[in-house]
């Protein structure tokens, strides 16, 4: 098993990438701390893991809250004695997110609070735990939009993911000599509830699909396998990367005719 005897904390574990990653990490031997604000989703994730013979607990936490992030890390160490993998995955994409003229300040502030401050708080409280464990892996969910402009305006989301990417690079540099690796997972457009709610018309979906060489949306489970590599010792010399899993969109960005 690729994560045997490791303890992994995953935010946003109640759905999408977080859900599939939690199940996969557990299958690969990790004890999972599933974190979400959606109690039903998070508890269902834990139920599925334990039913399959895995180890998991659920922790309710709003990642934009410093106290909640401190508590989720404390729960990991109290329950399992250590923390080896921190997957700062929780994020939001609001339907009212648009261009600079149309996006309300409240949309901008909430997006930044969850997507950027949430990663900061995860690292603020998670890094001391990783130190106590002798090192480990941090994975921050960024996005392909951190690398190029989105065809459908989502300015707050794009800016937030750019911040996650730059934060990841700096953290990787700071902590490289402590055996703490920090990488950014940059998914392409995925068939998740988060994106499908944003691309809520067929026209919007096609506007995005036309740029993807593979011609399809990615699946959350495909991101889970990428996260597994970054979490495992197989990626022991990998830090500070933009781990792009995007169906080729950043390699061949094309303009529709």
pLDDT digit string (tens) for the chain, length 257 residues? 999 999 999 999 999 999 999 999 999 999 999 999 999 999 999 999 999 999 999 999 999 999 999 999 999 999 999 999 999 999 999 989 999 999 999 999 999 999 999 999 999 999 999 999 999 999 999 999 999 987 788 999 999 999 999 999 999 999 999 999 999 999 998 887 777 777 778 877 787 787 889 988 999 999 999 999 999 999 999 999 999 999 999 987 744 44
pLDDT score recorded for residue 254: 46
Q: Are 164 and 184 in contact (CB under 8 A)?
A: yes
CA end-to-end distance (rounded Å), the chain? 48
pLDDT score recorded for residue 94: 93
Q: Are 45 and 39 in contact (CB under 8 A)?
A: no
Find the catalytic residue in 80, 157, 225, 253. Answer: 157
pLDDT score recorded for residue 257: 42
Task: Judge whether 157 counts as a catalytic residue.
Answer: yes
List of residues 6+ apart from 55 with CB closer than 8 A: 26, 30, 31, 32, 49, 80
Q: 85 φ, ψ to 5°? A: -135, 130
Cα–Cα nearest to 146, from 173, 123, 176, 119: 119
Cα–Cα nearest to 123, from 160, 82, 175, 80: 175
- Cβ neighbours, 10 Å, residue 102: 11
pLDDT score recorded for residue 208: 75
Chain CA centroid to CA 185, Å: 7
Q: 182 φ, ψ to 5°? A: -130, 120
pLDDT score recorded for residue 96: 95
Give all domains of the chain, ordered by start, each with its CATH number.
7-188+220-244 (3.40.50.720)
- Alpha-carbon distance 254 to 250, whole Å? 9
- Alpha-carbon distance 145 to 147, whole Å? 5
pLDDT score recorded for residue 75: 98
**How long a stretch of residues is the chain?**
257
Classify 213 as helix, strand or coil: coil
Q: Are 58 and 41 in contact (CB under 8 A)?
A: no
């Amino acid at each position: 098993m690729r994560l045997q005897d490791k303890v992994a904390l995953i935010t946003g574990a109640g759905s999408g990438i977080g859900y599939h990653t939690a199940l996969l990490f557990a299958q690969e031997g990790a004890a999972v701390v599933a974190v979400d604000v959606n109690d039903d989703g998070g508890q269902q994730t834990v139920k599925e893991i334990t039913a399959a013979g895995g180890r998991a607990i659920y922790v309710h936490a709003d990642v934009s809250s410093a106290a909640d992030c401190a508590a989720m890390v404390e729960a990991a160490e109290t329950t399992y004695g250590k923390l080896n993998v921190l997957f700062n995955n929780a994020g939001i994409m609001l339907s009212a997110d648009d261009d600079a003229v149309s996006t309300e300040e409240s949309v901008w502030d909430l997006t930044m609070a969850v997507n950027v401050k949430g990663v900061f708080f995860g690292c603020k409280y998670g890094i001391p735990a990783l130190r106590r464990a002798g090192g480990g892996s941090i994975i921050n969910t960024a996005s392909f939009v951190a690398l190029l402009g989105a065809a459908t305006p989502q300015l707050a989301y794009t800016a937030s993911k750019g911040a996650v990417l730059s934060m990841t690079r700096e953290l990787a540099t700071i902590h490289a000599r402590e055996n703490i690796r920090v990488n950014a997972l940059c998914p392409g457009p995925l068939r998740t509830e988060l994106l499908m709610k944003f691309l809520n018309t067929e026209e919007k979906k096609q506007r995005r699909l036309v740029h993807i060489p593979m011609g399809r949306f990615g699946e959350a489970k495909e991101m889970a396998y990428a996260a597994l590599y970054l979490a495992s010792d197989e990626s022991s010399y990998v830090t500070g990367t933009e781990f792009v899993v995007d169906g080729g969109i950043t390699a061949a960005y094309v303009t529709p005719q």
